[in-house]
């Protein structure tokens, strides 16, 4: 930047610090004008889309504090008083608390299982040559592009026959199985990028294969595990199709199911304010976590697409 | 493997197979039991008359497939699913390319600064646009089901508030509008993901390319089509396949199942293949016929992915 200019901040993510002193002098004035028009235009569009994204979410938060009459009478008016009792009612009477707990249990178990089993399989596939290696790898990868619903019809009966239908641990096993394709795909690529010399040195020093894996390779793979962990956490927390088919017992419902169930039954009971409170309750923790861990979340979710 | 060249490898062979089996057995077993085996089974079941309610069934050859070809609802669901796979990704990716170009290249030219620059507050836009991506599609579908409510929903009451009393569509209740209303929700929730993805790609395009083009008298619209888009093409293509698979499967199931009456209504105007599979298997007790529609869905998915990869094939550009 020239010191004679007012400090014009360059947005951080453009990552540009190079000064091109000769270029502006030669640029024709019309170009500059066009740039200005484009700038106003682009800001206008960007602001409109930001409003379109944020407004429905803010509307939901606002509505969760209103009473039923004003939800129907004047959907856009601010709440007269903050009806916190909506939230209390949703948490206890509408069982949001139970659904929350179920979701935490299912996602907690699935996430740990997915990371442990996924990294074990990926490590072996990335680091060892053996007959069938490629076949197993593509068997896992293939699961990413097949329509899950096709498998769900027989899966329902497989799970039922094993006595795992409508159980938390049954759901955990199924979540793990369906999270493995992407996890193995991502972590195999990641393990391949790690240097092999450290593992070999450890092995020469007498560490077993599994000790080498758990004490040396896993800590080295931490950045990859964080990315794929966030990806799986959001995918499993937000899962709707798998529990809808395999978890039909109301006591075992996870959040997404519980909310939909609530919406259907509210059609008769008419506690819309409680439902909105439940909706916001399910929304806010994830949004808050996203805002705090923004960089890691974006990295985790876009990691697969950029590979 | 690069490791092969190294001396350590010989030592690493010790106890190798026991270790490989030990590490692969559980993940592979779980995957085979809950994913691969049901897939294989469902293709087999599509040739039977299994109801799902009793364990007895007989082979019926291609009877289910013949029935499917005569089933009007199947054809409707196929039509809607194709629309989901083709239109939703095109609109989403088009909008995302436009927005991310605005974010990264639409900035005011500053004297002494680079020839092109991002708009101010670009980090803020990217954070906000990404919001829906972290939420469950089920929650988003519920939220919009309320917003679309013709009497007390956010959208129609907004239209009334700005004086457009004459325009009060029934949205999800109107057979001509319902499908579009549902598709709009998927677009709304996914655009932000692609804006962030494309922005990362655009940031890695060297500035000299833009400089040279602008000096040659190109305007910014030309630079988008001649520089940005070709260099981002790989990302666009894989994003298209990814989005199409989602729009054929889990995402369209959630939005249609939660938002529409029936679900799939009104008058089958929003039914999609994945929903039809679910309804045939778990509502109507026709598991074998459901797997037949599922096989059709599998073929559509594979054909879609192959078509995008083939049509989109271009020479890879190095820069």
- Higher per-residue confidence, B26 vs A266: B26
Please report the pLDDT score of residue B28 as a whole number: 94
| Chain B residues with CB-CB distance to A36 below 8 A | 108-109
Specify whether B131 is located in the same domain as B43: no
Count of the separate structural domains present in chain B: 2
Specify whether B211 is located in the same domain as B158: yes
Specify whether B56 is located in the same domain as B101: no
Average pLDDT over residues B228-245: 86
Please report the pLDDT score of residue A97 as a whole number: 86
The answer to whether A56 faces chain B, any CB pair under 8 Å, is: yes
Instruction: Encode pLDDT of B194-230 as tens digits.
Output: 998 888 888 878 888 888 887 887 777 788 888 888 8
Specify whether B78 is located in the same domain as B10: no
Q: Is residue A114 helix, strand or coil? A: helix
Q: Is residue A150 helix, strand or coil? A: helix
Instruction: Encode pLDDT of A244-288 as tens digits.
Output: 888 888 888 898 988 888 887 765 566 778 888 888 888 888 888
| B316 inside domain | no
B38/A158 touch (CB, cutoff 8 Å), yes or no: yes
pLDDT reading at A291 higher than 70: yes
pLDDT reading at B315 higher than 60: no
Contacts A–B by Cβ distance under 8 A: 362
Please report the pLDDT score of residue B88 as a whole number: 92
Please report the pLDDT score of residue B112 as a whole number: 59
The nearest CA of chain A is from the CA of B19 a distance in Å of 7
Specify whether B237 is located in the same domain as B304: yes
Please report the pLDDT score of residue A38 as a whole number: 66
Please report the pLDDT score of residue B3 as a whole number: 46
Specify whether B99 is located in the same domain as B49: no
Please report the pLDDT score of residue B32 as a whole number: 93
Cis peptide before B148 (omega within 30 of 0): no
Residue among B115, B154, B191 minimizing CB distance to A56: B154
Please report the pLDDT score of residue A102 as a whole number: 92
Asked whether the CA dihedral A146, A148, A150, A156 is positive or negative, the reply is: positive
How confident is residue A177, by pLDDT bands cut at 50, 70 and 90? Answer: very high
Please report the pLDDT score of residue A172 as a whole number: 94
Residues A138, A267 contacting (CB under 8 angstroms):
no
| B158 inside domain | yes
Specify whether B53 is located in the same domain as B176: no
Q: With CA atoms as reference, report the closest residue to B240 among B182, B190, B308, B191.
A: B308
Q: What is the CATH number of the domain that holds B183?
A: 1.10.3720.10
Average of per-residue pLDDT values in chain A: 80
pLDDT reading at A23 higher than 50: no
Q: Could you tell me the residue range of the domain that residue B42 belongs to?
A: 2-63
**Chain-centre distance of CA B119, in angstroms?**
28
Average pLDDT over residues A85-109: 86
Q: Which of B12, B41, B63 is the last residue of a domain?
A: B63
Q: How far apart are CA B242 and CA B309, in angstroms?
A: 11
- Higher per-residue confidence, A207 vs A176: A176
pLDDT reading at B61 higher than 50: yes
Q: Which of B15, B37, B63 is the last residue of a domain?
A: B63
- Higher per-residue confidence, B299 vs A5: B299
Specify whether B180 is located in the same domain as B299: yes
Q: How far apart are CA B224 and CA B214, in angstroms?
A: 11
Listed in order, strand segments (DSSP E) in chain A are none
Q: Which of B63, B79, B97 is the last residue of a domain?
A: B63
Close Cβ partners of A304 (under 8 Å, ≥ 6 residues apart): A182, A185, A186, A231
| B159 inside domain | yes
Please report the pLDDT score of residue B222 as a whole number: 82
Which alpha helices (H) appear in chain B, and where do they start and end? 8-12, 16-31, 37-45, 63-69, 72-105, 122-134, 137-147, 154-161, 178-203, 207-215, 220-223, 229-248, 250-259, 273-282, 287-311
| B98 inside domain | yes
The nearest CA of chain A is from the CA of B173 a distance in Å of 16
pLDDT reading at A29 higher than 80: no
| B319 inside domain | no
Please report the pLDDT score of residue A307 as a whole number: 46
Specify whether B73 is located in the same domain as B158: yes
Specify whether B23 is located in the same domain as B168: no
Q: How far apart are CA B87 and CA B252, in angstroms?
A: 13
| B317 inside domain | no
How confident is residue B180, by pLDDT bands cut at 50, 70 and 90? Answer: very high
Confidence check on the interface: ipTM exceeds 0.95, yes or no: no
Indicate whether this model's pTM tops 0.80. yes
Specify whether B21 is located in the same domain as B53: yes
| B287 inside domain | yes
Q: Nearest residue of B to residue A2 by CA position?
A: B112
The nearest CA of chain B is from the CA of A69 a distance in Å of 11
Percentage of chain B exceeding pLDDT 70: 89
Q: Which of B113, B190, B209 to mutate to test the interface with A (most CBs of A within 10 A)?
A: B113
- Judged on CB neighbours under 10 Å (0-12, 13-18, 19+), B208 is exposed
Specify whether B183 is located in the same domain as B87: yes
């Amino acid at each position: 930047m020239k010191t004679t200019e007012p400090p014009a901040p360059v947005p951080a993510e453009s990552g540009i610090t190079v000064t091109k002193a000769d270029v502006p002098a030669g640029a024709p004035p019309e170009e500059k004008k066009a740039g200005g028009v484009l700038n106003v235009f682009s800001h206008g569009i960007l602001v409109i889309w930001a409003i379109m994204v944020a407004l429905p979410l803010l509307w939901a938060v606002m509505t969760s504090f209103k009473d039923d009459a004003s939800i129907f009478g004047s959907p856009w008016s601010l709440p007269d008083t903050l009806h916190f009792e909506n939230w209390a009612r949703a948490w206890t009477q509408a069982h949001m608390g139970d659904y929350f707990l179920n979701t935490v249990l299912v996602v907690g178990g699935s996430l740990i299982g997915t990371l442990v089993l996924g990294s074990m399989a990926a490590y072996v596939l990335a680091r060892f040559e053996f007959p069938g290696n490629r076949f197993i790898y593509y068997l896992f990868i293939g699961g990413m592009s097949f329509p899950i619903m096709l498998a769900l019809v027989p899966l329902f009966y497989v799970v039922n026959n094993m006595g795992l239908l409508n159980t938390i641990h049954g759901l955990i096993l199924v979540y793990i199985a369906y999270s493995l394709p992407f996890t193995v795909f991502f972590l195999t690529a990641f393990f391949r990028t790690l240097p092999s010399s450290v593992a070999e040195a450890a092995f020469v020093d007498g560490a077993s294969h599994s000790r080498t894996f758990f004490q040396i390779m896993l800590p080295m793979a931490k950045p990859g595990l964080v990315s794929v962990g966030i990806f799986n956490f959001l995918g499993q927390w937000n899962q709707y199709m798998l529990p809808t088919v395999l978890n039909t017992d109301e006591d075992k419902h996870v959040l997404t199911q519980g909310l939909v169930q609530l919406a259907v039954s509210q059609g008769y009971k008419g506690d819309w304010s409680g439902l909105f409170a439940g909706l916001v309750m399910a929304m806010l923790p994830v949004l808050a976590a996203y805002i705090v861990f923004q960089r890691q979340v974006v990295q985790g979710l876009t990691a697969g697409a950029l590979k | 493997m690069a490791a092969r060249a190294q001396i350590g490898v010989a030592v690493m062979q010790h106890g190798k197979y026991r270790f490989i089996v030990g590490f692969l057995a559980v993940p592979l077993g779980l995957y085979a039991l809950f994913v691969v085996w049901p897939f294989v089974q469902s293709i087999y079941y599509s040739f039977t008359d299994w109801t799902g309610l009793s364990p007895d069934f007989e082979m019926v050859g291609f009877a289910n497939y013949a029935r499917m070809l005569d089933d009007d609802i199947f054809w409707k669901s196929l039509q809607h699913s194709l629309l989901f796979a083709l239109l939703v990704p095109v609109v989403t990716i088009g909008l995302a390319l436009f927005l991310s170009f605005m974010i990264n290249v639409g900035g005011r030219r500053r004297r002494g600064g680079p020839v092109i620059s991002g708009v101010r507050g670009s980090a803020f836009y990217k954070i906000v646009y990404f919001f829906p991506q972290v939420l469950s599609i089920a929650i988003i579908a519920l939220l919009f089901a309320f917003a679309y409510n013709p009497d007390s929903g956010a959208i129609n009451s907004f239209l009334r508030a700005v004086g457009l009393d004459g325009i009060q569509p029934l949205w999800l209740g109107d057979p001509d509008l319902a499908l579009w209303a549902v598709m709009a929700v998927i677009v709304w929730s996914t655009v932000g993901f692609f804006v962030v993805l494309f922005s990362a790609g655009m940031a890695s395009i060297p500035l000299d390319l833009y400089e040279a083009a602008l000096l040659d008298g190109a305007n910014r619209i030309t630079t988008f089509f001649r520089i940005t888009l070709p260099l981002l093409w790989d990302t666009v293509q894989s994003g298209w396949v990814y989005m199409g698979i989602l729009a054929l499967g889990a995402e369209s199931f959630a939005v249609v199942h939660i938002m529409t009456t029936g679900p799939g209504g009104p008058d089958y105007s929003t039914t999609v293949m994945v929903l039809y599979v679910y309804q045939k298997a778990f509502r109507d007790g026709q598991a074998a016929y459901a797997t037949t529609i599922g096989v059709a869905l599998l073929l559509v998915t594979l054909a879609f992915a192959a078509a995008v990869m083939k049509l989109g094939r271009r020479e890879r550009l190095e820069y």
